[in-house]
Structure formats: structure tokens, C-alpha cells
């Protein structure tokens, strides 16, 4: 089993719930922001000392939900603060960005880190398209063209031109090229069967977050494996990554108390403007290819929010408990889903940073020895 330590870099000082999206930024305090960035980057660098295989980051916009609007900046900082841990950018919102710029920045990170990059490409969630003024209905087509362009930019030894539907370049020849050959390990996100089929067409890991039902998740993973097989590639546990909100404490009761308080702030304040924006986008645009996929996305969010913490634990949506309990939960995910990589997010809402650090140490000392060899 492999494990990555993930951080959202949330703003933890909201007194009032944002009533709209984009969330007003009048209450942002730069000095406080600097302190949070310092703490968060220190915490992410500490993951190397706690036995994690990778430290992970991603990208969000226009919201206190996450202050990380460019994960590559954080990856660059971590490339100089760490020595051997993988840097998992999970990832760049590819349909919203210039793919050549993404290819260049990822190549820089791979070289700067000595070949430690895991290159994540994600389609993102619906409201991000409002932030960057990109039509949500174009997201899948943009994703595919941008990804194909990046792969060529990484591997083509001579300058080349590109005339596509969304991107046109007279001449491309990026400097530097990635250190890893033919290119860094890739991860593509999927939350439904349609996305899983897309991921299976590429030599990439599948990344899944917000698991609501283990059987449904297993079906989606099987779609990925079947598609990969059709394209001549056999997949294993190392090709499946699960994202899990996680709290590890000395006892089950303590872990649940910490997690429950963090989730309350996460859902009632940080997620509120996101949910409103997503509802608007899903009503007015064609982000999903059909009504069934749209309903699946909406239902997933509603069900997750409505469940008690105990129900989320039972469903496999979160990892929470004492080290001994967490070991059992990880073994269950491995057995049921065949996943070989878990992406652990311990900073949920207002969970204290001291509790995050203690959870990381408990993971290293009392969880990892029992699951690393699964």
C-alpha cells in the first residue's frame, strides 16, 4: 500500500457563512494568511518524516474552501523542503488552463524535484468553470485535447505545431522536458463510469474521492480496469487511488469528536458557497453528458452531507478512529476496492493543526507498520 498526505489549505477563520459564490473576501487578513501558509507548508513537508509516500495538493478558486489556487507553487516550495517523497499534484484543472503552460510547469517540478512528480490532471467541479469563464459543456473535449497536447509536448524531440479545436500553436518545443521518461506518472480523476472509461484509455492511475457506496465505487473501478484492458494495459492496485477525509487519534471517541467538529465547519461554512454555485451550473449548463450522470453527482453530495459521521465511516466515505480501528478501515478499502494508494486529508475544516500533526505521527508509528505490506 502507498499513502499520500493531502492538504486543502482551508481558511479557518470564518465567523459567518458566505451567502453567495464567489465568496466575499473582505474578511481576508494577509498576515493571518501568511501564518496559515507557513503552518500548512511545514505540515506538508513533515509528511516525509511520517512515512508517507507522497505529499499531495490540488487547485480551487474564489473560495475560502481552499487557499491553493495554484498547487504547482506549493509543489515548487515542497521540492526544496523535501528529499525523497513524491510530489503529487492532484491536480491542475486542465480544461481551464493553458495546456502548454501546464506541461512546462509540471516539467519544471519534475526536474527541480529530481524526478518525484506525480502529474495529476482533473476536470474539476462545475462551479470552477464560472471562475475562469470556460463553458462547462466543453469540459470533456477540452480535457482530452489538452491532455493529448501535453503528452506530445513532453515526448516529442523536435518542434511541432498543433491545430486543434480549442488550442492552436504554430510551434511548440518546451524547455525543460520532464526528468522521468517517457513522462511522469499520471493520475486522472473519475467519480462515475463515464469518467472511469476516459481514464482507462490512458496510461494513468484513476483517482476517486467522496466514496458514497463501496459497491458503486467497485463498479466504477472495474469500468476503468476493463477499458484499460481493451487498450492493452493491465492494471493493478498501484493504479487505484482513493481520497479519504481522515482523523486518527488515541481513541475512537476522541477521533470522532475531532472529526465531527471539523466536518461541521467544513460543510456549514466552507462548502456552502460551492454547493450553491454548483447547483446553478448544473441547472443551466451541460457539464455532464446525460441526466443520469448529473443526478449521480448531485445525489452523491446530498447523501454525503446528510449522513452522520458514523454512517460515513460505515459507508467507507471517511477514515476515522484509533490507530487500530483505522488499520481495519484501510484493510476493508483494500479488500473491497483493490486500491493500492490512499490519499489522506487530515485538515478537515477547523481540525486543529496540533491534532493533524498527532494524527500523522500515529499513522507513522501505529498504522503504517500494519498496512504497508498489504
Tens of pLDDT, residue by residue over 63-109, are 899 999 999 999 999 999 999 999 999 999 999 999 999 999 999 99
Close Cβ partners of 219 (under 8 Å, ≥ 6 residues apart): 193
Q: What is the rounded distance in angstroms from the CA atom of residue 214 to the CA atom of residue 296? A: 15
Q: How many Cβ atoms from other residues are within 10 Å of residue 115's Cβ?
A: 13
Over the stretch 223-263, which tens digit does the pLDDT of each residue have?
999 999 999 999 999 999 999 999 999 999 999 999 999 99
| Averaged pLDDT for residues 140-145 | 95
- Class of residue 15 by CB neighbours under 10 A (exposed 0-12, middle 13-18, buried 19+): exposed
Q: 247: burial class by Cβ within 10 Å (0-12, 13-18, 19+)?
A: buried
Q: What pLDDT, on the 0 to 100 scale, is given for residue 23? A: 84
CA nearest neighbour of 114 among 152, 87, 74, 91 = 87
What confidence tier does 339 reach under pLDDT thresholds 50, 70, 90?
very high
Q: Per-residue DSSP letters for 160-206?
A: EEEE-SS-EEEEE--SSPPSSSS--EEEEE-SSHHHHHHHHTSS-EE
pLDDT above 60: residue 285: no
Question: Are the CB atoms for 110 and 261 separated by under 8 Å?
Answer: no
> Which pLDDT score is estimated for 127?
72
- Give the per-residue pLDDT at 86: 98
Burial class, 231, CB count within 10 angstroms (exposed 0-12 / middle 13-18 / buried 19+): exposed
Q: Is the pLDDT of residue 271 over 70?
A: yes
- The residue with greater pLDDT, 127 or 207, is 207
Integer Cα distance of 69 and 61 in angstroms: 5
Distance CA 350, CA 63 (A): 16
For residue 301, what pLDDT is reported? 65
Give the separation between CA 177 and CA 109, rounded to whole angstroms. 10
Across 304-325, average pLDDT:
93
Residue 137 has a pLDDT of 84
Mean pLDDT of 275-281: 64
Distance, in Å, from the CA atom of 294 to the CA atom of 298, rounded to the nearest integer, reads 6
Phi, psi (degrees; rounded to nearest 5) at 172: -130, 130
Phi, psi torsion values for 118, nearest 5 degrees: -105, 120
User: What pTM value is reported for the model?
Assistant: 0.93
Out of 126-135, 160-169, 353-362, least confident range:
126-135
**Please, what are the domains in the chain?**
2-371 (3.20.20.30)
Given a cut of 70, whether residue 276 has pLDDT beyond it is no
Average pLDDT of every residue of the chain: 93
Query: What is the C-alpha to C-alpha distance for residues 278 and 136, in angstroms, rounded to an integer?
Result: 11
At 138, phi and psi to the nearest 5? Answer: -90, 0
Percent of the chain residues topping a pLDDT of 90? 80
Per the DSSP assignment, residues forming a β-bridge with 51 are none
Q: Is the pLDDT of residue 273 over 90?
A: no
Report the SS3 class of residue 243: strand
Amino acid at each position: 500500500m502507498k499513502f499520500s498526505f493531502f492538504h486543502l489549505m482551508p481558511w479557518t477563520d470564518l465567523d459567518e457563512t458566505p451567502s453567495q459564490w464567489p465568496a466575499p473576501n473582505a474578511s481576508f487578513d494577509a498576515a493571518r494568511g501568511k501564518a496559515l501558509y507557513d503552518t500548512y507548508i511545514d505540515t506538508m513537508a513533515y509528511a516525509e518524516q511520517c512515512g508517507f509516500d507522497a505529499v499531495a495538493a490540488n487547485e480551487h478558486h474564489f473560495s475560502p474552501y481552499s487557499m491553493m489556487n495554484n498547487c504547482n507553487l506549493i509543489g515548487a516550495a515542497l521540492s526544496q523542503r523535501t528529499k525523497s517523497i513524491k510530489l503529487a499534484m492532484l491536480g491542475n484543472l486542465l480544461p481551464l488552463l493553458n495546456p502548454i503552460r501546464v506541461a512546462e510547469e509540471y516539467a519544471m517540478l519534475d526536474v527541480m524535484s529530481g524526478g518525484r512528480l506525480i502529474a495529476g490532471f482533473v476536470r474539476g467541479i462545475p462551479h470552477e468553470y464560472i471562475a475562469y469563464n470556460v463553458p462547462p459543456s466543453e469540459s470533456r473535449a477540452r480535457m482530452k485535447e489538452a491532455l493529448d497536447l501535453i503528452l506530445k509536448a513532453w515526448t516529442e524531440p523536435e518542434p511541432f505545431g498543433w491545430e486543434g479545436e480549442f488550442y492552436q500553436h504554430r510551434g511548440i518545443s518546451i524547455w525543460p522536458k520532464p526528468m522521468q521518461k517517457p513522462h511522469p506518472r499520471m493520475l486522472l480523476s473519475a467519480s462515475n463510469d463515464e469518467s472511469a472509461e476516459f481514464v482507462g484509455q490512458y496510461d494513468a492511475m484513476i483517482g476517486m474521492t467522496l466514496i458514497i457506496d463501496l459497491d458503486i465505487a467497485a463498479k466504477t473501478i472495474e469500468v476503468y480496469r476493463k477499458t484499460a484492458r481493451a487498450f492493452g494495459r493491465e492494471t493493478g492496485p498501484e493504479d487505484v487511488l482513493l481520497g479519504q477525509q481522515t482523523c486518527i487519534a488515541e481513541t475512537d471517541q476522541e477521533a470522532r469528536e475531532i472529526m465531527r467538529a471539523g466536518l461541521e465547519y467544513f460543510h456549514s461554512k466552507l462548502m456552502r458557497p460551492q454547493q450553491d454555485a454548483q447547483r446553478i451550473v448544473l441547472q443551466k449548463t451541460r457539464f455532464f453528458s446525460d441526466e443520469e450522470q448529473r443526478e449521480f453527482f448531485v445525489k452523491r453530495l446530498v447523501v454525503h452531507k446528510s449522513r452522520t459521521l458514523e454512517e460515513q465511516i460505515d459507508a467507507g466515505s471517511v477514515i476515522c478512529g484509533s490507530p487500530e480501528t483505522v488499520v481495519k478501515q484501510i484493510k476493508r478499502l483494500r479488500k473491497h476496492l483493490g486500491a493500492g494508494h490512499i490519499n489522506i486529508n487530515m485538515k478537515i475544516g477547523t481540525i486543529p493543526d496540533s491534532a493533524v500533526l498527532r494524527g500523522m505521527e500515529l499513522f507513522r508509528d501505529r498504522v503504517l507498520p500494519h498496512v504497508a505490506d498489504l
